[in-house]
Structure 1
């Protein structure tokens, strides 16, 4: 190839890097027959694109080794030997390409060496191979290689673990008392209110605008319009154009909340004359009914009562398994049926069994249902109707379990569930998961239903009987009176 015929990028790229000298083939002299094929395509010379094994010296090469040689002004013009490069020896060594004809060795012109049949192993500079999959012996102690045949763990196992963890929490040393857990659980709501109150009543005289802002803050915390108005009026009474400290406002807030909640703070009373005393739990999906039943069973057992559980949530397998775990931990029998069984029939059978065994309290779980689904609410009515064939007054208590994080939607739940079942009391859970814990005050103002228990965590000890004064001071961010 003449120097006027510049090779393309591919030729220049491969012309810069030679292969190990041991695998090079001799370059035929200029008068060799192989030089006559220069510039012709492979199919014209009979060259094989697959095999690149050099021919013996006795046979003429099918094509000139210098066919892809890079012109002198390009090859090596600006290249310097790389320090530590073992792939290409420096110029003048035994690894240089053979001379062209009788010309002396020249580092500025090098023929393109043909590819060897079996390439040398990659040098240290080449990319490292991908690591092999770890074998069981190479894994950390206590672990094993993943098995593609293993299916994901059922949700029931995770729930069972949570239930077991609850019992561990109850016995953990150094646990805070109920007041400490209550204030910690109500921290979101109390902090939100305290920040608003401090911003409103610091270095500012009391006027109509300030009271309106306070009322807005209480409404946003789900206290309801009625309670918010009453609190703002109590704060402003006799204090217009006067200064008032944030602590004074919080004291007034706590007093008004206690006044609103005191009439509904009633403990759950178990009538010993009714045996079994039937407690039906209802609520929407995820409100915490099954967990609440397990915690109530533990409390009742601690009082010396015999308890039986009925896994009436037959649509969710995990609920049945979760209740079984609570039964095992508390030593409480659990009545179950196959998944998808009729919930009303299960309640009927459980009531019969509790009567036969002389059980003090029967706790019946039910499937979560949205309050706006007429078909599901009708099924709840059926459960009550079927139980009353055995006991005309059953259930003796119907607890509506409410999730505090749903906010104003709790008002709708109380209204519609009360139409399908004889709701006798409320259990408010997850007060630790919201900054709008005032919904309990709004419920008390609108419905006046007894509030038996509140929950501020997942542990057994985090569900306790409701006390109006403690709740009011905790929500206002005050110390216990």
Structure 2
């Protein structure tokens, strides 16, 4: 089975860079952490300024509440974090406001921890991954970046251009296929479900490890279009009774609480198994992950599985999509 926690670095690449092969992933992760910290700077600054005072009082907690709400953590997640933070302050006897920031980072990391999960493939061949998202969320670009992750992990990938709704989507996916040197199944003006079925059949015949299905961008309010996504999923199940093995939703971190509404709507229609959160750079709404995590808690309490965040993105470069780590995110958020 393939695990996507870290990209594989070949001995040849390590030799070319003059780095020890074992050290290269750590350096790559450090570089990613720097980009993540920069990407979350706007969200983090609005929260960190709360801790520049001289005492811990109701005023500090009120300012923090406002900052978390402005970061789109949502009312429930904000209340959850404040309650947990006050308990940590009391239990540790903390009196310095600057030290409270570290306690908040620990609280955020604990809340986000259930969102951590490694995307693994190999239990099924091919592993069928269906990807959905609204237009503008960065869905097709994320598929291209995910293809690179999969390929770097040693998996062979076949792309399915089932986003026939948007004129340029097929061409955009074809560019990513060329860039990543992978095969693509595409039909000009074809039916999305038919393209999906053909891709699974081709993936099985060609011995591919993964079939990545790019579906059309949809708004949750477009009920007839959401029904088409249901159809694609049904057809994938006909092509492979155990599939799709992953149903991922790409959400734009800039949209804040609207992103949570999208998660709920798509989950109801498709039964999501994971998320990719994009465009966290330049947004002041990075707190939405706290709202998603709290929703996941209520979902788990009802007996359903938490929908994890497999990847987050902070830019347009192919390596600006990385695995989600709760502690890293909390540390980057609060500097």
**TM-score when normalising by structure 1:** 0.59
Partner of 2:326: 468
Q: How does 1:385-400 map to 2 (within 5 A)?
A: 385-400=234-249
In structure 1, runs of 5+ residues without a counterpart are 1-170
In 2, distance between residues paired with 1:246 and 1:209? 12
2:132–2:249 CA contact under 8 A, matched in 1: yes
In 2, distance between residues paired with 1:189 and 1:245? 22
Partner of 1:318: 168
In 2, distance between residues paired with 1:350 and 1:179? 36
Does the alignment pair 1:263 with 2:121? no
Does the alignment pair 1:287 with 2:125? no
Does the alignment pair 1:179 with 2:37? no
SS at match of 1:177: helix
Partner of 2:68: 218
Does the alignment pair 1:443 with 2:292? yes
Partner of 1:141: none
Q: Return the match for 2:277 from 420, 428, 431.
A: 428
**Which structure is larger by alpha-carbon Rg, 1 or 2?**
1
Cα displacement string for residues 316-357 of structure 1 (whole angstroms, at most 9, x for unaligned residues): 232111111111121101111113x21111101111111111
Does the alignment pair 1:405 with 2:259? no
Partner of 1:33: none
SS at match of 2:130: strand
Q: Which stretches of structure 1, 4 residues or longer, exceed 4 Å deviation after superposition?
A: none
In 1, distance between residues paired with 2:143 and 2:313? 12
Partner of 2:310: 452
Q: Return the match for 1:307 from 138, 157, 166.
A: 157
Larger relative CO (CA 8 A, sep 6+): 1 or 2? Answer: 2
Partner of 1:365: 214
Residues 262, 235 of structure 1: CA spacing in aligned structure 2 closer, same or farther, 3 A cutoff? Answer: closer
In 1, distance between residues paired with 2:162 and 2:286? 30
**TM-score when normalising by structure 2:** 0.84
More helix by share: 2
Does the alignment pair 1:253 with 2:104? yes
Cα displacement string for residues 357-395 of structure 1 (whole angstroms, at most 9, x for unaligned residues): 111100010111101111010000000111111212211
Partner of 1:128: none
- Shift, 1:234, TM fit: 4.0
2:41–2:282 CA contact under 8 A, matched in 1: no
- Shift, 1:243, TM fit: 8.3
In 2, distance between residues paired with 1:234 and 1:296? 35
Q: How does 1:143-162 map to 2 (within 5 A)?
A: none
| Bigger mean CA offset, 189-198 vs 243-252 | 243-252
1:206–1:236 CA contact under 8 A, matched in 2: no
In 1, distance between residues paired with 2:319 and 2:96? 36
In 1, distance between residues paired with 2:212 and 2:277? 18
Partner of 2:233: 384
In 2, distance between residues paired with 1:333 and 1:390? 19
In 2, distance between residues paired with 1:187 and 1:269? 31
Cα displacement string for residues 438-461 of structure 1 (whole angstroms, at most 9, x for unaligned residues): 101110111231110000111111
1:310–1:334 CA contact under 8 A, matched in 2: yes
More strand by share: 2
Cα RMSD (Å): 2.3
